[in-house]
Structure 1
Amino acid sequence: MTGYEGRGAEAYELRSALVRLRRDTGLPVALGGLVYDRLGSPPGPSRQRGRLRIDEVSGTVSGALKGVAVSTGSGLGGKAVALSRPCAVVDYQEARHISHEYDALVAAEGLRSVLAVPVIVRRKVRGVLYGALRSPQPLGERILTAAVAAARDVEQALVVRDEAHDLLVAAREPAVGADAWERVREAHSALRALAPRIEDPRLRAELTEAYGTLAAASEPAVRPSPEVRLAPREVDVLACVALGATNAAAAERLGLGAETVKGYLRSAMRKLGAHSRWEAVVAARRAGLLP
């Protein structure tokens, strides 16, 4: 099982989101959890959905809500999951439009005004972020907007993680068939482009290890040449060029400017003693920098 498939990866994103939520809203308490399948694992894109579990807390004074499992449709968070939209109450215990299975736990933490925002990835609810006050008062549009923005950040992070997971699976499959090396090169380029977007250091290290393993592979006919040192971004650009990308396409894929890409390419060509883009790719493969 990879670090992505464990709970730590998603927990990292939730913890970061709770810190941002409290900072941007001024709310004293923030909670978060993912929707888990029946086996107790975080759901991937195709897993069956089960119960929301509050695994991350920030600003709490008791352990009452940590680890609580929330059924879909129950309480405020369960309602947000069922409706796939934000929900809020001014006074949790007195609210009439939610069920009250969790009143004792909410009261133990002293929470009154609460909002719940679903984290939705590919039209499926993957988790919920909560923000709360210990007094009964309207939360206001500014707080709701900030909470929705924090949930959107988690959504984007989970999309990137899903993409990383798919790439890691593909990269670890044996390369067989007539187009095997092309698929290896595509996976290598995609992993290099994705890694800088990953904030979690463990997952980023996992991606780096995977594309390093792919780069160390070479076709039987290729003999490694003496060591050449390129900057990471120079290799990123060459990995895109190796797949036929233009400077503009490489820039879009890597999140760089076209002129910046051109600069990296020129620098790599100079270091490799190459006079064309393709010569640079061939030289990088001989140096063991590209598969």
Structure 2
Amino acid sequence: MAAQTGTESDARLIERAVADLARQSQFPLAFGGIEHDGAVEVTATVGTRTRNLHGLIVHADRGLGGRALVEKRPRLALDYRTSRNITHDYDRAVLGEGIVTLFAIPVIVTGTARGVLYCGTWAQVSVGDVIARPAFAVAGTLATELRIRDEVERRVSLAPAATGEPGLDAVAREELRESYAELRSIAAVVTDDDVRRRLEVLEQRRAALSNEGAGRPVDHGIALSPRETDVLARVALGSTNAEIASSLSLKEGTVKSYLQSAMSKLEASTRHAAVAKARRAGILP
């Protein structure tokens, strides 16, 4: 079967996760990959002594990682060579690396296994909760990144696109504003620099689309901070300070402070006036 490849961003995410796994766990080697079409291709390795594992394609239910993928739970082989609980389709690669103890952790996103991370050693070791916990944490972080990416792509696909026609109707404009606010909320927790830059471009396009449709001038002289814009985007949807705090994982007092700062910069006496001025300035859709 030909090697499967994910997107460039997938590759960066798995590389960072594997590097974190090697740094945070007590295992000397780590590797992993994202699931595509029922198989996981190992695209990132750290600490390996050979090239045997790089590019290895692990099919669902085959080997230790394939079992972890299908069962959606971690799988451990204390002595990989003699393990009777797995198929040995990948012995040439695994044993060729000299691995004795192998630990496979599936990356679960909203109930679906989206990849597998592996930790290994060249000597048999016991794997208790203290040793396994960092590996679970790294897999959880990767799952969060993938979930965010999925939501971004979903929102982008649903957001109204420029059609060349003058103006947006009220329904389309409201959907545009909701998508804009949600994109900003997602961007606030993204750690992947490439995804963050893509989100910023999308946010700017959404704001420009609304303003062009309304025939409004765009004033780039007003500079709100990212968090001030996040808060104002939620205010524009009618959210209370408490609701904004919950959606952005901030304290209510912090939300109030950001809002007051934004109002001051916009020279607005009320939150609604601030939203109106931000829209006229092209900051919000």
Q: Per the alignment, do residues 53 and 225 of structure 1 end up closer, same or farther by CA in structure 2, a change over 3 Å counting?
A: closer
Q: Deviations over 1:30-49 (max 9, x none)?
A: 01111112xxxxxxxxxxxx
**Residues 1:199 and 2:187 aligned together:** no
**Residues 1:215 and 2:207 aligned together:** yes
- The residue correspondences of 1:133-282 to structure 2 (distance < 5 A) are 133-171=121-159, 173-174=161-162, 177-217=169-209, 218=211, 219-220=213-214, 222-224=216-218, 227-282=221-276
Maintained 8 Å contact 2:160/2:172: no
Provide the secondary structure at the position in 2 that maps to 1:179: helix
CA distance in 2, matches of 1:226, 1:173: 23
Equivalent residues, number: 275
CA distance in 2, matches of 1:226, 1:213: 14
**Structure 1: unaligned runs, 5 residues or longer:** 38-49
> What amino acid is aligned across from residue 195 of structure 1 in structure 2?
A
Maintained 8 Å contact 2:40/2:57: yes
> What amino acid is aligned across from residue 62 of structure 1 in structure 2?
T
- Structure-2 residue corresponding to 1:43: none
- Structure-1 residue corresponding to 2:73: 85
Maintained 8 Å contact 2:160/2:176: no
Deviation at residue 25 of structure 1 after TM alignment:
2.0
Deviation at residue 225 of structure 1 after TM alignment:
5.6
Provide the secondary structure at the position in 2 that maps to 1:197: coil
> What amino acid is aligned across from residue 28 of structure 2 in structure 1?
P
CA distance in 1, matches of 2:201, 2:27: 39
Q: Per the alignment, do residues 137 and 173 of structure 1 end up closer, same or farther by CA in structure 2, a change over 3 Å counting?
A: same
Maintained 8 Å contact 1:25/1:142: no
Please give the TM-score of this superposition, normalised by the length of structure 2. Answer: 0.90
Deviation at residue 143 of structure 1 after TM alignment:
1.8
- Structure-1 residue corresponding to 2:117: 129
CA distance in 1, matches of 2:53, 2:89: 13
Find 1:65's aligned residue among 38, 42, 53: 53
- Give every structure 1 segment of 4 or more consecutive aligned residues whose post-TM-superposition deviation is greater than 6 Å: none
Q: Percent of aligned pairs with the same residue? A: 38
CA distance in 2, matches of 1:172, 1:61: 50
Q: Deviations over 1:213-245 (max 9, x none)?
A: 111231425444683222222121111100001
Deviation at residue 154 of structure 1 after TM alignment:
1.2
Provide the secondary structure at the position in 1 that maps to 2:214: coil
- Structure-2 residue corresponding to 1:7: 7
CA distance in 2, matches of 1:107, 1:157: 32
CA distance in 2, matches of 1:155, 1:18: 13
Deviation at residue 16 of structure 1 after TM alignment:
2.1
- Structure-2 residue corresponding to 1:42: none
- Structure-2 residue corresponding to 1:51: 39
> What amino acid is aligned across from residue 262 of structure 2 in structure 1?
A
